[in-house]
Amino acid sequence: MTKPVILTGLRANNNLTIGNYFGALMPMVEMANQKAGEYQINMFIPDLHSFTTPINHDELQGQIMHNARLFAAAGLPLDHDDILLYRQSYVPAHSELTWILDCFTGVGEMGRMIEYKDKSAKIGDDRVSVGLFNYPVLMAADILLYGAKYVPVGEDQRQHLEFARDISERINARFHDILTVPDPLEKQTEFFGKGQGLRIKDLADPTKKMSKSDDSGKGVIFLTDNPSEAAKKVMSATTDDKASINYNPIEQPGISNLLQILALLRGHPLDDVEAAYKGQSSYGDFKRIVADEVAGFLTAFQAKLADVSDNAIIAAFERSEQVANQQANETLHRVQQAVGLRPRG
Ligand code: TRP
């Protein structure tokens, strides 16, 4: 690990939305392209995280491949030495370090995790798995094994990143500095710049974020949606009765969301896009423009997706997993020595 490490994981379950594309996938891929050379970029598929809540296990393999294809279609280079694309479960050190860290983690600490509280409240106690409960520990292991300094995560993962810092500091205090502590959140934001964590809203209910786990799917555009179906979803997006286009997320969340989507699709600053349509009264005409843009984007993206070679992905996995195992095992060994599981050389 000679270069500083930037690391992030993108979950394999569920289909990704254009919100995930513009909020996570695209910024990650752009960042990887810009920073490779100077940094090592770990992009991994957290397959062990995929069934903390119940899934259809027959679909997991397909989803892992699909996720990797999405990265590639979004422009992630598959053959750059500094860019690692790997499957978490192919690096067994993740599971092993998790167990060790589990034993230094408080039950109360995990119980306070907001994502855990939200999810467990939804599914009911008897279906809450221990995996869901200690999932932040696995996430900490994901980060600490590679000594990652920079971990771009959305708002909902910040508390987990804070935990990764806490547990690494705790281990370091107890056993001499053996782990690299990820940078504090303010520094991360500085490093990645604004734009990170940008949220596209649900088309049907623009007060909430567009989420892949929303079952109705009416207000959600998936990257695999049929382009004309997706255009229809835009045409029936919820707006308001002001009959004047403005960017004002509080008063006009629907129209503001459409302006935001258009800006992202065109790669233009939001201000410019707003200026072009400001004050216009026909929401129908404006929706048509956004709908066409969405359909065009999906058509182009899906063509790229169809062109991705599975062989190239498997080759990237295998190359990356070899490097990842080597680096992760070094860290694991240091921790094993510290806790007395291995002789101290
Ligand atoms: N928990 C993250 C999510 O739900 C995914 C993830 C797993 C991750 N391990 C990670 C992100 C390590 C950053 C670093 O989106």
The answer to whether residue 3 is catalytic is: no
The answer to whether residue 212 is catalytic is: yes
pLDDT digits (tens, 9 = 90+) for 27-51: 889 999 999 999 999 999 999 999 9
> Chain-centre distance of CA 230, in angstroms?
22
Q: Are 45 and 86 in contact (CB under 8 A)?
A: yes
Minimal-distance CA residue to ligand 1 atom 4: 11
**CA 155–ligand 1 middle distance (angstroms):** 12
Whether the CB of 293 sits within 6 Å of ligand 1: no
Whether the CB of 49 sits within 6 Å of ligand 1: yes
Q: Are 150 and 183 in contact (CB under 8 A)?
A: yes
Catalytic residue among 201, 209, 233, 287: 209
- Can you list the positions of beta strands (E) in the chain? 5-9, 40-45, 83-87
Ligand 1: atom nearest CA of 46 is 7
Q: Give residue 212's pLDDT.
A: 74
**CA 184–ligand 1 middle distance (angstroms):** 16
Task: Give residue limits of the domains in the chain.
Answer: 5-195+309-339, 227-305
> Chain-centre distance of CA 199, in angstroms?
12
**Which residue among 11, 116, 213 is best mutated to probe the pocket of ligand 1, counting the most ligand atoms within 8 A of its Cβ?**
11
DSSP-derived secondary structure letter, 75: T
Prediction pTM value? 0.88
Whether the CB of 7 sits within 6 Å of ligand 1: yes
**CA 67–ligand 1 middle distance (angstroms):** 14
Minimal-distance CA residue to ligand 1 atom 14: 8
Helix, strand or coil, per DSSP, at residue 206: coil
Which class would CATH give 227-305? mainly alpha
Q: Are 221 and 210 in contact (CB under 8 A)?
A: yes
> CB-based burial of residue 178 (10 Å sphere; 0-12 exposed, 13-18 middle, 19+ buried)?
middle
**CA 147–ligand 1 middle distance (angstroms):** 15
Number of CB atoms found within 10 A of residue 117's CB: 11
Ligand 1: atom nearest CA of 8 is 13
Q: Give residue 1's pLDDT.
A: 56
Q: Which two tokens stand for residue 266?
A: 């065109």
Whether the CB of 12 sits within 6 Å of ligand 1: no
Q: Give residue 5's pLDDT.
A: 97
**CA 52–ligand 1 middle distance (angstroms):** 13
The answer to whether residue 187 is catalytic is: no
Q: What is the CATH number of domain 5-195+309-339?
A: 3.40.50.620
pLDDT tens track of the chain, all 345 residues? 589 999 998 775 567 899 889 888 888 899 999 999 999 999 999 999 999 988 999 999 999 999 999 999 999 999 999 999 999 999 999 999 999 999 999 999 999 999 999 989 988 777 899 999 999 999 999 999 999 999 988 788 999 999 999 999 999 999 999 999 999 988 988 888 765 446 799 999 999 989 877 667 789 999 999 999 999 999 999 999 999 999 999 999 999 999 999 999 999 999 999 999 999 999 999 999 999 999 999 999 999 999 999 999 999 999 999 999 999 999 999 999 999 999 997
CATH topology of 5-195+309-339 equal to that of 227-305? no
